[in-house]
Structure 1
Amino acid sequence: MMIREEMEIIFHERIAEDTYRMTLQGDLPAEIRQPGQFVHILIDQSDSLRRPISIADADTAKQTLTILYKILGRGTAALSKKQSGDHLDVLGPGGNGFPIDSITAERALLVGGGIGVPPLYYLAKQLKEKGIEVTTVLGFQHEASVFFEEEFRELGEVFVTTNDGSYGNKGFVTEILPALEGRFDTYFSCGPAVMLKAVSEKLDGYEGYLSIEERLGCGVGACFACVVQAPEGDSKGYRKICHDGPVFRTGEVIL
């Protein structure tokens, strides 16, 4: 169930280049059912446009949820100016996340790129709680943009790649994958569609789940700004990222 409430900011800090971590407190965390869901934030009351941001962590006991976001435009730039004690109009949780309750694998591979990394952290924590071994591959542009490496290391083995080789392994996340063959039963990936397409091709034959990290329109399924094509023969012909996703099984949509 989605709810709307004024949530209080209780923590906010810069953690990497143009990247911030914010913790919000309120009743909404009790409604989160799956890792991979998102919240829709109204940053300024004078601006009617809400920004969808993935949930990176949640604690129902403390009534908190954490988001990690990158400054990409006017809205997120304004969000970065908010301080502890401020309140935000938040709608959520939205979308369908990773089906954590139905996962039966013993070993999982998580592959995240850039701002696609945040929802994988909450997923990794829940997989670990189920006794599933977690290996994570994190991809960033360069050293200054790397974040949450240590947090993931607390949950399992981690490989970091940077496009320019300034930190970790040089190249894209897909270049690490061949060395991990046989070390996982299923995989989960989040990032831009072009990265997800490359990952799913590299891991063809494995059961996988893909979370598409793309800009959304309304965020509640009312518009068609985030439509992706379904396979040929599908009766509907398309899926809405915000409503049907953002998480899809491999093969459920055409990237």
Structure 2
Amino acid sequence: MIKKEILKVMSVKEIATDSYEMSLENEYISTHAVPGQFLHLSIPGHTLRRPISIASCNQMDKVVKVLFKTIGTGTKELSGYQSGEQLDGLGPIGHGFPIEDLKPNDSVLLIGGGIGIPPIYFLATALKERGIKLQFILGFQSKDFVFYEKEFNMLGETYIVTNDGSYGHRGLVTDLIPNVSSFDRYYACGPLPMLKAVKKTLAHKKGYISFEERMGCGVGACFACVLKTNDGIGYKKICQDGPVFAADEVII
């Protein structure tokens, strides 16, 4: 259930160029959030809330971690928050990644691009606890934007791709798909062009994709974030019906 919550800022640190990790204390969200869900944070002076994906939850410490990039004035202000300050947030919002039918020793490929990587990390930790075999392909603009490589390496074999080749492999995440071992399912989150390419390349595989999208209300009232679907209904809202969809469910 979505609730309006006050989140206490524990820390904010820059983990790569223009990329920040924020730790927030909140019992309800840390207890109820599942991989794939997000928070809708209010920033004073800005009309619209900012949707920020959840990167991890620690129920014992009541801490939620989110990662974001400073791509505008709102997220720039968010990066300047200090320990002890508070944020008004709605959450957890959206449907998470379906994982209930996976069995121990099933093999999964997880693909993330840029700021679509944080929810992939949250998902990976949950899958690891279930005994799922993991492989990762992570895409970044360049070496300066790479984050969480060590954390992913601790969970499974990790391939890094950069657009300019300044770190890891040069090219696109889809270029590395032939390099991975066989897998039963894939999950992906990232920019729309990446999701289109992944869906086309892995059309023969069962998969789920999560959308990083600008939103208005975040709760399904404004129809600002819609996707065309194959189910005959026509359109679905990313915030309310997603942000995770079966790859063959949506038209992108």
What is the CA-CA distance between 1:5 and the residue it aligns to? 1.6
Q: Structure 2 length normalisation: TM-score?
A: 0.96
SS in structure 2 of the partner of residue 251 of structure 1: helix
The match for 2:235 is: 238
Instruction: Give the superposed CA RMSD.
Output: 1.1
Aligned to 2:179: 179
The residue that corresponds to 1:31 in the other structure is 32
SS across alignment from 2:240: coil
Per the alignment, residue 49 of structure 2 pairs with: 50
CA deviation digits over 1:68-90, x for unaligned, max 9?
A: 00011111011011011111111
Q: Partner residue of 1:138?
A: 138
Secondary structure of the residue aligned to 1:115 is helix
Matched residues in 2 for 1:157 and 1:207: separation? 20
Match of 2:84 in 1: 85
**C-alpha distance in structure 1 between counterparts of 2:114 and 2:150, whole Å:** 15
Question: C-alpha displacement at 1:219, in angstroms?
Answer: 0.8
Match of 2:220 in 1: 221
The Cα offsets for residues 94-151 of structure 1, whole Å up to 9 and x where unpaired, read as: 0011012233371110000000000000100010000001100000010001111111
SS in structure 2 at match of 1:36: coil
SS at 2:71's partner residue? Answer: coil
Bigger Cα displacement from structure 2, 143-152 vs 216-225: 216-225
Following the alignment from structure 1 to structure 2, what is the Cα–Cα distance between the partners of residues 200 and 131? Answer: 26
What's the TM-score, normalizing by structure 1?
0.95
Aligned sequence identity (%):
50
Aligned to 2:164: 164
- Give the deviation of 1:248 after TM superposition: 0.4
List gaps (5 residues or longer) in structure 1.
Answer: none
Give the residue type in structure 2 aligned to 1:254: I
- Counterparts of 2:101 and 2:24 in 1: how far apart (Å)? 28
Q: Structure 2: state its 5+ residue gaps.
A: none
Letter in 2 for 1:15: I
The answer for the alignment partner of 2:18 in structure 1 is 18
Indicate conservation of the 8 Å contact 1:112/1:139, yes or no. Answer: yes
Q: How does 1:72-111 map to 2 (within 5 A)?
A: 72-104=71-103, 106-111=106-111
Q: CA deviation at 1:235?
A: 3.3
Residues in 2 aligned to 1:81 and 1:146: alpha-carbon distance in whole angstroms: 21
Query: Partners of 1:183 and 1:235 in 2: how far apart?
Result: 33
> Which residue identity does 1:68 align to in structure 2?
L
Change (3 A) 1:204 1:235: closer
Q: Establish whether residue 247 from structure 1 lines up as the match of residue 244 from structure 2.
A: yes
